[in-house]
Structure 1
Amino acid sequence: MNAPFIADRTFVNEDFTSSRLKKGDYENCVFEGCLFKEGYLDNQNFMECEFVNCDLTNSNIKHTIFKETSFKGCKLTGLRFEECNHLLLSIRFVDCNMTLTSFNGLALKGTFFSNCILQESDFTDSDLSFAQLPYCNLKKAIFENTVLHQTDFTESIEIDIDPALNQLKKTKFSKENVIGLLKKYDIVVT
């Protein structure tokens, strides 16, 4: 049985926690103010879709496709993006709370994260080359075996990255957040 194709539709203030979003291929759709908290978005296909002011906290996104999908003002706490379909993954985040979100092992080249809370998020084994993270809070974010070639952290805060455990090449930092690269050495900079 083929999943329905839903295009150019806007969903406003819908609660998908009690009645699940119909399985389908969603193209150029907007989800605004929708509640998916602890819900099921697994095996869905979102192409050129936009999530605005939605709560997806701890939602199941296994095998879901996010192609050219953006999240604005959303709560994405605890999402495990490594469980979604990696093949066409292209995502963008603006003003999102992404505390405890996991991107473990993902190719996120050129991904844009703006003004996001990424506290305790996991980027282990990910490729964040050319990614931009302006005005992001990275307190206790995990970077281990992460490729950070030409990644831009210049306006981010609370950075703690061990250069010995990650691949940094032409990675951009402000003078203020360079201290986060030296944290493991217990150096006092005045």
Structure 2
Amino acid sequence: MNKSFFEDITYKDQDFTKVRLEKAAYENCIFEGCNFADAYLDNMNFTACHFSHCNLSNANISHSVFNEVSFSYCKLTGLHFEHCNPILLSLSFDHCSLTLASFYQLQLKKIEFTECKLIEVDFTEANLSNAQFKGCDLDKAIFEKTNLEGADLSTAINYKFDPEQNRLRKAKFSKDGVVGLLGKYDIVVM
């Protein structure tokens, strides 16, 4: 069965919790002020789409393609990006809340997070090489066996993880932020 195809359409202020977004391929579409909380967005294709001021909390995004998709001022609480189709996965986030989201084992080279709340986000075994975390709050974010080589966390705050359990070559940190890498040593930095 062929999926429908929608291109260059703007969806504004729609509630997709009541009427499901059609299972289709969406290219160069804009979703503005839409509610997708707990909605089914599985098995869809999103290419060069932009989500602005949307709520996608706990949406089912299993097997969906997100290629060159950007999110700004969105709430994405509890999203499991590792359930997406990893082929062509390309995302960026600006002023978003991704509390309890998961990027487990994903290839996310050069991903950009700008002014995002990444509270308790799981980055375990993800490849975040050359990622940008500009002004992000990473309180209780999980970094285990994560590739952060060349990543820029110089303006990020509240991160705490073991540098021996992650790849950090050429990663950038602020002097104040380095304290978050020393927690396991139980030392006092003055």
TM-score (norm 2): 0.99
Distance 1:167 1:161 in 2: 11
Counterpart for residue 100 of structure 1: 100
SS in 1 for 2:182: helix
Counterpart for residue 140 of structure 1: 140
Share of identical aligned residues, percent? 53
Counterpart for residue 161 of structure 2: 161
Q: CA deviation at 1:168?
A: 0.9
Q: Deviation per CA, 1:132-157, whole angstroms, max 9, x where unpaired?
A: 00000000000000001000000000
Counterpart for residue 58 of structure 1: 58
SS in 2 for 1:180: helix
- Which amino acid is the alignment partner of residue 165 of structure 1? Q
Distance 1:88 1:155 in 2: 28
Counterpart for residue 35 of structure 1: 35
- Which amino acid is the alignment partner of residue 11 of structure 1? Y
Number of residue-to-residue matches in the alignment: 190
- Which amino acid is the alignment partner of residue 174 of structure 2? S
- Which amino acid is the alignment partner of residue 20 of structure 1? R
Counterpart for residue 172 of structure 1: 172
Q: Root-mean-square deviation (CA), in Å?
A: 0.4
SS in 1 for 2:66: strand
Distance 1:68 1:168 in 2: 26
SS in 2 for 1:59: coil
Counterpart for residue 7 of structure 1: 7
Q: CA deviation at 1:159?
A: 1.1
SS in 2 for 1:178: helix
Counterpart for residue 48 of structure 1: 48
Distance 1:128 1:161 in 2: 15
TM-score (norm 1): 0.99
Which portions of structure 1, spanning 4 or more consecutive aligned residues, are displaced by more than 3 angstroms? none
Distance 2:177 2:121 in 1: 18
Q: CA deviation at 1:18?
A: 1.1
- Which amino acid is the alignment partner of residue 138 of structure 1? L
Q: CA deviation at 1:5?
A: 0.7
Spell out the pairing of 1:71-82 with structure 2 (5 A cutoff). Answer: 71-82=71-82
Q: CA deviation at 1:131?
A: 0.3
SS in 2 for 1:184: helix
Structure 2 residue runs without a partner (length 5+): none
Q: Deviation per CA, 1:67-107, whole angstroms, max 9, x where unpaired?
A: 00000000000000000000010000000000000000000
- Which amino acid is the alignment partner of residue 117 of structure 1? K
Q: Deviation per CA, 1:11-33, whole angstroms, max 9, x where unpaired?
A: 00000001110010100000000
Distance 2:161 2:71 in 1: 26
Counterpart for residue 67 of structure 1: 67
- Which amino acid is the alignment partner of residue 165 of structure 2? L
Q: CA deviation at 1:161?
A: 1.7
SS in 2 for 1:150: coil
